[in-house]
Structure 1
Amino acid sequence: SCTHDTMAVIYHDSLECLVCRRRPPQGFLYRCTVDREPLILDAASRGYSAAFDKCGMAFAGEMTLGKFGADARSNPHNLFNELTPEQLASYTPEQLAILVSQRENVSPRLRGRFIAETLVLMSFPDDDEDDDKPWVPDWRFECQYRVCHRCRPDSRQKSWLSLDAVLNGDILPTVATGFSFSLQGFRPCGDVNVVKTLGCRAIPLV
């Protein structure tokens, strides 16, 4: 089972639901993306591309974990970008200094925790692993939970996409690279003449 709060819809008819072990009748599954988001972003920073088409490549440079994402918060001074002018005015300079110092203390603590966990597990990171990004998970332990709508219909609430966030520049890596269609290798497009009439036709009288 998976208790993470972010998922994406994966379109492919060959995948099986991990609960019922059957292929989804709707042709899609919900797939956990809590680890995949930072993994895609980290791969891009290392020069690798997770996009499979020109559309994904065009948006690859715009992807982020969000305004309040771990990558943004790794910079202590990003605090001033997160707060509105009204919120900033409500703090004294001393209070803002305390908030910044607290964030500066987070990264060393996370790095120390990471080292402690690797010692307990008796597994050590690769030589080229960047421990300056403690929020990037080990790809070997990525959560790949996937489930069909029939078994976990509430997963739909975890897979919604905010268009307002996209317009404001908060484009998640899975959205930018078209992760939902990566297994198919193409983005399905509907006929505009059909889509524009959906819900507009008169109800047939029998």
Structure 2
Amino acid sequence: MNDFITIAIPKGRILEESVDLFGRIGIDCRELLGDSRKLIFENPLQKMRYMIVRATDVPTYVEYGSADLGIVGKDTLMEQDKDLYEPLDLKFGYCRMMVAEPANLATHDDPSAWSHIRIATKYPHVAGNYFAAKGIQVEIIKLYGSIELAPLVGLSERIVDLVSTGETLRQNGLVEVETIAEITTRLIVNRASLKTKHERISGIIRNLEQVI
């Protein structure tokens, strides 16, 4: 089994786009799109194994070598800062990591004058680094659910969150104030696997580069 390549992939839209992308380089993993509750799928002919995991767990499985490769959003990589090789931007799953605040606050707010603020976010590491680099003291409240709720109930003045179309912000009376980063989906590789399975992994990376 050591000659298998194991890939950790999260469920949802990333899974669908990943299956399509791998199909374009001749790696057939359409079985992953079925309604099975299996978490590990194997293709003995192609010597490929796939693990279905939570997006936030993908870097951990790859860093510790349980998976050779992983597919995950750049936001997760920025937040976790794992020791991984990140060779490829897969160019899908685009969104922006933004600072947002209530529209009525934004009408008279000046971000350049911020000195001490309170932020609610799923990304405390990214938010803390961002504001520290700007010399702004920040109190960070970590949430796991709907971040947009925090300013509406007075938990925080502002939020740091991912924004795609911006519709959820608008419906909750929030506006974008600053862009922290543009986010896309990335291919990540375990550093030891890149040495021990160099030929196969390099081939996958080259083939993906050609179709992206």
TM-score by length of 1: 0.25
Q: Which has the higher contact order (CA 8 A, sep 6+)?
A: 1
Higher fraction of helix: 1
Q: Counting strand residues as a fraction of each chain, which structure ranks higher?
A: 2
Computing the radius of gyration from Cα coordinates, the structure with the larger value is 1
So what's the TM-score if we normalise by structure 2? 0.25
